Structure 1
Amino acid sequence: MEFESEIGDLQSKLREHRDILKSEEAAKTTLVLPFLRALGYDIFDPSEVEPEFTCDVGTKKGEKVDYAIHVNGELSILVECKPANSVLSSKHASQLFRYFATTDAKVALLTNGLLYNFYTDGDRTNRMDDKPFFTFNLEDHRKSDLKTLRAFRKADFNLEQISAQAGTLKLQSEVSAELRKEFDEPSDEFVRMIANRLHEGRLTQTIRSRFKQVITQSIVGLIRDGVNERLESAISQSNGSPSDTDEPVDFSDIETTQSELDGFNIVRAIASQAVAVDRVILRDAKSYCAILLDDNNRRTIARLHFNSPTARHLGVFEGKQETRLSVENPTDIYSHADQILTRIRELETENNH
């Protein structure tokens, strides 16, 4: 757990100091170098983490990238840093593009300390891809992202495995993006495909509109049922064994710990004073568990930020503003029952207007 703990400490440091991390140097010192150290690299050994790496590229002489990481004596990763408040884009990676083609490095990292964009040459050999194959968000990540990040640790670094994984991650990201579009707003092609399987005769505009509405509702229902099945299974498993540990429940790449399930059930118990308990739904969302009213992500009751190994927080809401309250154990949530009930009343009032 040391690796996860160090990333958790960095996450806390980011949240504490992000308002003053405005320069590139501040991002490097406070976030990027500790991040590289968490990956197992000796940031004080210039033969391993070489600062201000210089390489002449064509007519451009003396250009530098911020760091070059050497694994087993071989140049393996190029790192370019930007200020923490900057929005990363392809223009920020211009030096990485040039260096990638003229060095032996096969992995490039563009970061502002918050986001870590990893690139390789999956599309064309020796030419850095335009888009990252993996992005690690220090502030908002899933447990599966931590597993992926482990591949870049010094002890686990294997270029062949990273290259193979890069193709899969990139394709998965693209497929997920397309599926998310279809889930949010089913396309005409998707609606026709489903309608043609179920409807005989001409697809009028009225029929297509009806299918589109039903498809959207069905997708939401499938997701809700999946979450509820996972919850019931986890509760059943916990009732059948004496374990109180935070072992993850594996479900379609989303891992829900026992502490998160306990926290959800406590929020549910509190909420039952104001609404029917079956209206309170759990939905995992990257680095937190969202607890929603009517399974509507616009009606968030609370969030459980329980992923960090060093700190846990309950997120409570007033309007769109989230306030994070420190909790040592799920049972501490009971002390914030008034805020949870106030939030539910707020959501119900909005719904009635």
Structure 2
Amino acid sequence: MDFIDIIKALSEKVTRLKDSIQTEEATKNAFVMPFIAALGYDVFNPLEVIPEFVADLGIKKGEKVDYCIQKDGQPIIIVECKHWKEELNVHNSQLHRYFHVCSTRFGILTNGIIYRFYTDLEEPNKMDNKPFWEFNITDMNEAAVLELKKYQKNAFDVDQIVSAATELKYTREIKKIIASEFANPSETFVRYFAKHIHSGILTAKVMEQFTPMVKKSLHQYVSELISDRLKTALSNEAEVSVKETAPVEETKGAAASDETKTEFTELEQEAFFIVKSILRTKVSGDRLFYRDTVRYLSIVLDDNNRKPLCRLHLNGTKKYLGLMEEGNKETRVEIDTIDNIYDYSDQLMNTLLRLEKVNEKQPA
């Protein structure tokens, strides 16, 4: 079972059972322990997960954090749990005390539904007042699952997570400010636009006129942006649908221009590595290349567009894997997540073997 499927299953379980969970202890057993286990840690091995971890502070004894996750004998994450109905804000100071006496860089405060991640970005060995990341287990998107993968036992890397935490923390705060300005533009925000448009003095009356116009303009811009993206996505899907059986041709001219306008997204990168991991049992990884276009990501053998292994259509409202058949004809299959690519390992391997046979038949 892939990681994303494990998280989806846990999400469904939490949604289904939460109303029957009456205590904090039940929250731990039904929601939090399965979450820790999903990350690959053995919750029944005291060398990996220590329940009721002692976190005494000075003369105050008997202080215990609910769980301490260890790796190679060293604490890496402390987890403080509350009942799923409890508001987490009032418990922030409790985790703050535990963090101060534990030799770990990460703390999690959770009620089994909301998970808040903390570290010490602002001052060494002192937990930040605000979490650098937060998610709701019942409302997980693919980006959140990819971020959560960094905390798996086999992938845990302190330096990598701290680096990502810095960006997560500040982008989160920036988005909050943007949301606040959209809902109720501040005078400073309105003044920025007004001074670029109004040639006279920005009196109180002028500012009063500009405030609703700025708010309206923001909402109109976002609406138009979403509308344009939807139109583009639908247009791309329609175009691909018409050409899905067309033979693959080498990228030239306008197509090459398209490539310069694309971005090799994180989702495409992970999909490429999935295909690479499937095929590396039969072929060296340095023979696998990708070609990024506006409409799809093509994975090819030997850096040759005439040797396509598959296509990945990940930019539309739906995701597709394009499987290549004889004559380089593409057959698309819809996938819910990029992890579904593993379901087509046999077809991808057969395409690779077919292209290798073609290579053998060609004269030296």
Q: Assess same fold via TM > 0.5.
A: yes
Q: Secondary structure at the match of 1:241?
A: helix
2: CA distance between counterparts of 1:50 and 1:257?
Answer: 43
Q: How high is the TM-score relative to the length of structure 2?
A: 0.65
- Equivalent pairs counted in the alignment come to 259
Q: Secondary structure at the match of 2:64?
A: strand
Larger radius of gyration: 2
Provide closer, same or farther for how the CA distance between residues 233 and 249 of structure 1 changes in structure 2, counting only shifts above 3 A. Answer: farther
2: CA distance between counterparts of 1:171 and 1:157?
Answer: 22
Provide closer, same or farther for how the CA distance between residues 144 and 100 of structure 1 changes in structure 2, counting only shifts above 3 A. Answer: same
Q: Residue by residue, what CA displacement relative to the aligned partner does 1:247-303 show, whole Å, maximum 9, x if unpaired?
A: 9799xxx986417xxxxxxxxxxxxxxxxxxxxxxxxxxxxxxxxxxxxxxxxxxxx
1: CA distance between counterparts of 2:22 and 2:186?
Answer: 41
Provide closer, same or farther for how the CA distance between residues 248 and 48 of structure 1 changes in structure 2, counting only shifts above 3 A. Answer: closer
Output the amino acid matched with 1:2. Answer: D
Report if the CA contact (8 A) 1:6-1:38 is conserved. yes
Provide closer, same or farther for how the CA distance between residues 93 and 218 of structure 1 changes in structure 2, counting only shifts above 3 A. Answer: closer
Report if the CA contact (8 A) 2:182-2:215 is conserved. yes
Provide closer, same or farther for how the CA distance between residues 255 and 122 of structure 1 changes in structure 2, counting only shifts above 3 A. Answer: farther
- Give every structure 1 segment of 4 or more consecutive aligned residues whose post-TM-superposition deviation is greater than 6 Å: 247-250
Shift of 1:221: 1.6
Matched residue, 1:66 = 66
Matched residue, 2:198 = 199
Matched residue, 1:82 = 82
Give the root-mean-square deviation of aligned CA atoms. 2.9
Report if the CA contact (8 A) 2:4-2:145 is conserved. yes
2: CA distance between counterparts of 1:109 and 1:204?
Answer: 49
Matched residue, 1:234 = 233
Report if the CA contact (8 A) 1:21-1:27 is conserved. yes
Matched residue, 1:109 = 108
1: CA distance between counterparts of 2:148 and 2:315?
Answer: 16
Shift of 1:142: 3.2
Provide closer, same or farther for how the CA distance between residues 112 and 60 of structure 1 changes in structure 2, counting only shifts above 3 A. Answer: same
In percent, how many aligned pairs have the same letter?
Answer: 38
Shift of 1:59: 0.6
Larger deviation, residues 1-10 vs 33-42 = 1-10
Matched residue, 1:48 = 48
Q: Secondary structure at the match of 1:117?
A: strand
Output the amino acid matched with 2:71. Answer: V
Provide closer, same or farther for how the CA distance between residues 234 and 255 of structure 1 changes in structure 2, counting only shifts above 3 A. Answer: closer
Report if the CA contact (8 A) 1:64-1:95 is conserved. no
Report if the CA contact (8 A) 1:143-1:255 is conserved. no
Provide closer, same or farther for how the CA distance between residues 103 and 255 of structure 1 changes in structure 2, counting only shifts above 3 A. Answer: farther
2: CA distance between counterparts of 1:205 and 1:99?
Answer: 50
Provide closer, same or farther for how the CA distance between residues 205 and 70 of structure 1 changes in structure 2, counting only shifts above 3 A. Answer: same
Please show how residues 240-279 of structure 1 align to structure 2 within 5 Å: 240-242=239-241, 257-258=317-318
Please show how residues 1-353 of structure 1 align to structure 2 within 5 Å: 2-89=2-89, 91-242=90-241, 257-258=317-318
Shift of 1:62: 2.9
Provide closer, same or farther for how the CA distance between residues 106 and 249 of structure 1 changes in structure 2, counting only shifts above 3 A. Answer: closer
Q: Secondary structure at the match of 2:41?
A: coil
Output the amino acid matched with 2:96. Answer: F
2: CA distance between counterparts of 1:256 and 1:96?
Answer: 42
Output the amino acid matched with 1:78. Answer: I
Q: How high is the TM-score relative to the length of structure 1?
A: 0.67
Relative contact order: is structure 1 or structure 2 higher (C-alpha 8 Å, sep ≥ 6)?
1
Provide closer, same or farther for how the CA distance between residues 249 and 156 of structure 1 changes in structure 2, counting only shifts above 3 A. Answer: closer
Provide closer, same or farther for how the CA distance between residues 121 and 20 of structure 1 changes in structure 2, counting only shifts above 3 A. Answer: same
Output the amino acid matched with 1:102. Answer: V
Question: Which stretches in structure 2 are left out of the alignment for 5+ residues?
Answer: 245-265, 270-313, 320-335, 341-364
2: CA distance between counterparts of 1:94 and 1:176?
Answer: 25
1: CA distance between counterparts of 2:92 and 2:315?
Answer: 33
Shift of 1:231: 1.2
2: CA distance between counterparts of 1:103 and 1:33?
Answer: 20
Shift of 1:78: 0.5
Report if the CA contact (8 A) 1:249-1:256 is conserved. no
Report if the CA contact (8 A) 2:237-2:316 is conserved. no
Shift of 1:147: 2.0
Shift of 1:95: 4.2
Matched residue, 2:292 = none
Output the amino acid matched with 1:224. Answer: S
Report if the CA contact (8 A) 1:24-1:81 is conserved. yes
